[in-house]
A = this chain, B = another copy of it.
Amino acid sequence: MKWHFEDFIYGAFDGSVTTFAIVAGAIGASLSPMIVVILGFANLFADGFSMAVGNYQASKARAEFIQKERKREEWEIEHMVESEKREIRDIYEKKGFTADLLDEIVRVITSRKKVWVDTMMKEELGLIEDGRRPLDTAASTMFGFVIIGIIPLIPFLIIYVTGVSLNSESFFYSVISTSVAFFLIGIIKGRIVKKSLIRSGMITLLIGAIAASVAYLIGVLLAGLIS
């Protein structure tokens, strides 16, 4: 099992936004803390699972696409030998090789089928079989969705357990805890791409705040149509 950080970030972000939208909507509808918690968990597991399966499908499609392109190249080097040799020549000419040295390189590469196809895949098509296994990317997404997406719920878990009822401060709690989730995603991202953690945290917090506001406002707007 290998973790994929982009997929983790993707799930973590979507989990935080949708949990916030549901929690905020539930507070707006004056539902009990227990219902807020239940709706939140339903989103975490149902939407998290749906996203993981969508991720699996997309990763698999990508892997199959690369496989298809490899088969096409394999066919081409058998049936269009000269033009494919010409392409290898062009690729190495662009790298700065000329004259006899270029001839020799073309001869060696085109004498080994696997090296020839690998070169066409990487250099002509820009495709690398990166070994991203669909199950790993899907699990990374679901893990991010659940483990970070639960943060906006935490205050309501505490409220529920301690038996306090929701009040005017509840919305404020959900904004704070969701902000913590976004900031944390930014920090994780910053660590991986080796940028300033505070800066990366603030940027993700800002983008997250916009996304969460839009999601929340669409909900409020459409809920207005219902009542």
Contact = CB atoms under 8 A, between A and B. Distances in A.
Contacts of A201: none
Interface in A25-70: 34-35, 38-39, 41-42, 45-47, 49-51, 53-59, 61-62, 64-65, 67-68
A43 B47 CA distance: 11
Contacts of A126: 128, 130
Nearest to A59: B6
B214 A46 contact: yes
Given A46-B215, A109-B95, A38 B193 contact: no
Contacts of A176: none
User: Is the contact region of chain A dominated by helix, strand, or loop, or is it mixed?
Assistant: helix
A115 interface: yes
Interface string A63-99: 0110110000000000000000000000000011100
B68 A9 contact: no
Interface of A: 5-7, 9-14, 17-18, 21, 34-35, 38-39, 41-42, 45-47, 49-51, 53-59, 61-62, 64-65, 67-68, 95-97, 101, 104-105, 108-109, 111-112, 115, 122-123, 126-128, 130, 185, 189, 192-195, 204, 207-208, 210-212, 214-216, 218-219, 222-223, 225-226
